[in-house]
Amino acid sequence: MVRRLASSTGIAIVLLALCTLPAAGQMKLGDFIENGGYDWIIGRWAGENEGTTTEVEYKWILDKHAVLTEVKMGEFKFRGFVMLSPSTGEITETAADNMGGTWKGDWTDEGGDLVFRVRHTDANGQVRKVEFVHAKVDADTITIAMYRVDDSGSRGFEPSGKATYKRQRGAAATQAAATEARRWVEYQKLGDLVTEGGYDWMLGKWLASESDQQYALEHTWVLDKHAALVDLKMGDFVYHGMIMYVPSRQEIFQVGADNTGGVWNGTWEQSYDGATHRVEYTGADGSTRKMEHVYSKTDNDTFQVKEYGSQSSQARRTLTFKRQKAPAAAK
């Protein structure tokens, strides 16, 4: 079942975007961080960790409704997505790495420090809980300490690791393509499932039109094909999401946010009619909507998405996407 829908990416958000509007007066993630005086964490940082250079970046996206996090340490790569939950007010992060791991946690304040409490599930399904405490030293220096968390949820008294990071000015250097990290255990990653299921055609840029509205959609690989990114633009509306796979549970899930303050969470399953994305959308005002989207391939350059209500057997809307091919090189 999982193999057949492995490349199911962020199609579900396309149709709901039609009825998504900004909620006036709603506070966004950027407001919380800046009002609390925590914008010092935004930027690129580098430090030494057990003799290896570690690079960390926190970057605004979606008009400061979300933050992208990236970590590189030797062969290890991590990519996370930080969002503000409109319904609970919690700041959460969901992430994946190129070793088959997934990460879910929340960010809180602790006496002026920023604490990321996270649950990590590795490719074998083993779970560990840790806390990363981020402390400001000065405008260009921070420390990050990692603490183990026991079964009762208590943090250890001493960090198991701590490093000092310096702010990096200017744009990040472009790196040559790296070889894939070694797998310490045997497992299937998202890219394996996509290839085996014959869904590689889903990658790339796509365009759909309805009346006078256009939907520009793109799917790209990250983390050595352990995850896929989804970007959608529809007029002033912008969405960014990430698709991840949990090998131990054979589960594909998707998280995302948009520039109106909405957050999106969903899973993918195989249905009779095709690959089905069951998604829950939470608006900036805390209201929620559930729906299903079924997509089907027409040919290598065309696919359709049908939208259903959570309890409806009739499609409410259909969009047809066409592949956008790269322009031919000038001769």
Residue 224 in contact with residue 191, Cβ under 8 Å? yes
pLDDT digits (tens, 9 = 90+) for 285-307: 999 999 888 878 899 999 999 88
Output the pLDDT for position 296. Answer: 85
pLDDT digits (tens, 9 = 90+) for 32-83: 999 999 999 999 999 998 788 999 999 999 999 999 999 999 999 999 999 9
Instruction: Give the burial string for 233-260 (b: 16+ CB within 10 Å, else e).
Output: ebeebbbbbbbbbbbeeeebbbbbbbbb
Phi-psi region of 128 (alpha: psi -120 to 50; beta: other; left: phi over 0): beta
Instruction: Give the burial string for 166-176 (b: 16+ CB within 10 Å, else e).
Output: eebeeeeeeee
Please choose, from the candidates 145, 134, 224, the residue with its C-alpha nearest in 3D space to the C-alpha of residue 179. Answer: 224
Residue 304 in contact with residue 295, Cβ under 8 Å? yes
Q: Is 182 a residue whose pLDDT tops 70?
A: no
pLDDT digits (tens, 9 = 90+) for 242-255: 999 999 999 999 99
Number of H helices, E strands in the chain: 3, 20
Which residues pair with residue 244 across a beta bridge?
227, 253
pLDDT digits (tens, 9 = 90+) for 307-320: 888 767 788 889 99
Residue written as token pair 């090189």: 329
Phi first, then psi, for residue 29 (nearest 5°) are -55, -40
Phi first, then psi, for residue 264 (nearest 5°) are -135, 130
pLDDT digits (tens, 9 = 90+) for 202-241: 889 999 998 889 999 999 999 999 999 999 999 999 999 9
What is d(CA 170, CA 199) in angstroms, rounded to the nearest whole number?
A: 38
What is d(CA 102, CA 226) in angstroms, rounded to the nearest whole number?
A: 10
What is d(CA 252, CA 9) in angstroms, rounded to the nearest whole number?
A: 9
Which residues pair with residue 71 across a beta bridge?
56, 78
Q: Is 20 a residue whose pLDDT tops 50?
A: no
Which tokens hold the place of 300?
């290598």
Average model confidence (pLDDT) across the chain: 86
Which tokens hold the place of 202?
């889903």
- The predicted model gives 322-328 an average pLDDT of 82
Output the pLDDT for position 271. Answer: 72
Q: Is 199 a residue whose pLDDT tops 90?
A: no
Domains assigned to the chain = 2-24+183-323 (2.40.128), 29-168 (2.40.128.20)
What is d(CA 323, CA 290) in angstroms, rounded to the nearest whole number?
A: 28
Three-state SS for 289? strand
Predicted structure pTM score: 0.85
